[in-house]
Amino acid sequence: MRDPMFTLTAGPTQTWPSVQAAMSGPIVYDYDPVFLERFARTERKVAELFRTSGDVVLMQGEAVLGLEAAARALVRPGMTAINLVSGVYAKWFGLWLAEYGANLVEVEVPYDEHVDPALVRQALADHPDAGLVAVVHSETPSGVLNPLREIAAIVRDHGALMVADVVSSLGGEELDFDGWGLDLCVAGPQKCLAGPPGMSLCAISDRCWDAIRDNPSAPRGSFLSLLDWKDRWIDGGRTAFPYTPSVVEVAGVEAACDVVLEMGLGRSIAIHRRAARAVREGVLAMGLELWARDAEFATSCVTSVRVPDGCDCLGTLAHIRERYGVMLSPGYGEIKERLFRLGHQGPGAASLNPVVALAALGRGLVDQEVPVRVGDGVEAALEVLFEDPAEVSS
């Protein structure tokens, strides 16, 4: 099969030319002075995106590594951990919490709904000994956004650690690590930052480090160890790595950060929000149904569309890919074949890429004899894309 012309998926997603150029450069030694400098510089840029003055750990594997590392670092056998579940990834995070010995309390809502902050307040009241609360900010598998700021405020008041999977929200949704009092966040570079996927971007508060240090179960001397990075790299004066960093990925991630910082973080978020709104309006105008019950809580990185009755989800996507050269995503996990996901991340959120995603899905459905008003969808999306994206405060 030929290469895709458009990668408008849930991520990894198509990237910017400057990111490709950065990854085409010579491979350098990880202890070359220019690389040591680049690594530290990239940390600072990621910190700027997280809006934190605290530590950032760049773990050298895709975000799942950072999430597993976080769970292992924080869970002490017997501690109570509250896991807020509105989707597949949160469910999986709970499996880790339980596996590493937590007394797991799950607050679960249907996967097309967000977690109401009132539920969090109630759970903490019911489990006052809870040491941490975990949530997925943006559930990429279903496209549902949780109100992280409000949840974090409640958790902060209570005193538990607030752990958030922000894999697909960094750069596309408002996020203020220091301002909202978050303790540990893990983001992926291959979503709204449109970088290469092989890295976990972790922000960690000082009190979170204290908790990790106090935890005898926290891994050390392991690829999964946050402490190794803290001790060897960060506190060791940034001259020694616990293991060899992926020098090409680092170059790509720095370039991806540069794109967002040059455009302005607020503007990046606004562009993602506008793209999401354009696609939602387009989907509705085409006569299709959104997965997220409440558009206010739909994420800005992907839009999930319910697969019409009788329609073959995977077959339709394969047809769209083969015939039109456009790669879209199905759902993920247990809801894999119940939804189409249109990604709008990085360049995919800009220009007319949202129109391409809509036209591809719409026409692909028409080809399957699903009656869809493609033209109306495109017009509705263009109506939104015409608007100047208002800067978001962050």
* Contacting a second copy within 37-96 (CB under 8 A): 37, 60-65, 68, 95-96
* DSSP 8-state class, residue 208: H
Cβ partners under 8 Å of residue 139, min gap 6: 86, 87, 88, 89, 90, 111, 145, 146, 299
Q: Are 299 and 11 in contact (CB under 8 A)?
A: no
Q: Give 265-310 as a DSSP string.
A: HHHHHHHHHHHHHHHHHHHHHHT--BSSSSGGGB-SSEEEEEPPTT
* 21 binds a second copy, rule: CB under 8 A: yes
The candidate with the shortest Cα–Cα distance to 363, out of 317, 303, 312, is: 317
Is residue 98 close enough to count as binding a second copy by CB under 8 A?
no
Structure tokens at 117: 């902050």
Out of 163, 175, 247, 302, the residue judged to bind a second copy by CB under 8 A: 247
The two beta strands, 103-108 and 144-145, are unpaired
83, 347, 365, 370: residue in contact with a second copy (rule CB under 8 A)? 347
Q: Site for a second copy (CB under 8 A): how many residues?
A: 90
Using CB under 8 A, pick the residue from 27, 118, 295, 390 that binds a second copy.
27
Residue from 58, 154, 329, 339 in contact with a second copy (CB under 8 A): 329
Region near a second copy per CB under 8 A, out of 39-47, 194-202, 205-213, 229-237: 194-202
Options 75-83, 125-133, 204-212, 323-331: segment touching a second copy (CB under 8 A): 323-331
Nearest distance from residue 36's CB to a second copy, in Å? 10
Between 62 and 174, name the residue whose CB sits nearer to a second copy.
62
To the nearest 10 degrees (0 to 180), the angle between helices 374-385 and 353-367 is 170
Residue 264 binds a second copy, judged by CB under 8 A: no
* Residue 125 binds to a second copy (criterion: CB under 8 A): no
Q: Could you give the CA distance from residue 347 to residue 385 in angstroms, rounded to a whole number?
A: 14
Q: Is 321 a binder of a second copy (CB under 8 A)?
A: yes
Shortest Å, Cβ 133 to a second copy = 22
Window contacting a second copy (CB under 8 A); options: 73-81, 111-119, 230-238, 362-370: 362-370
- Measured in whole angstroms, the distance separating CA 356 from the mean position of its chain's CA atoms is 22
In the bound complex, what is the minimum distance in angstroms from residue 65's beta carbon to a second copy? Answer: 5
Q: Which of residues 364-383 bind a second copy (CB under 8 A)?
A: 366-367, 373-379, 382
Answer yes or no whether residue 224 interacts with a second copy by CB under 8 A: yes
The alpha carbon torsion through 260, 266, 271, 274 (nearest 10 deg) reads: 160
DSSP state of 2: P
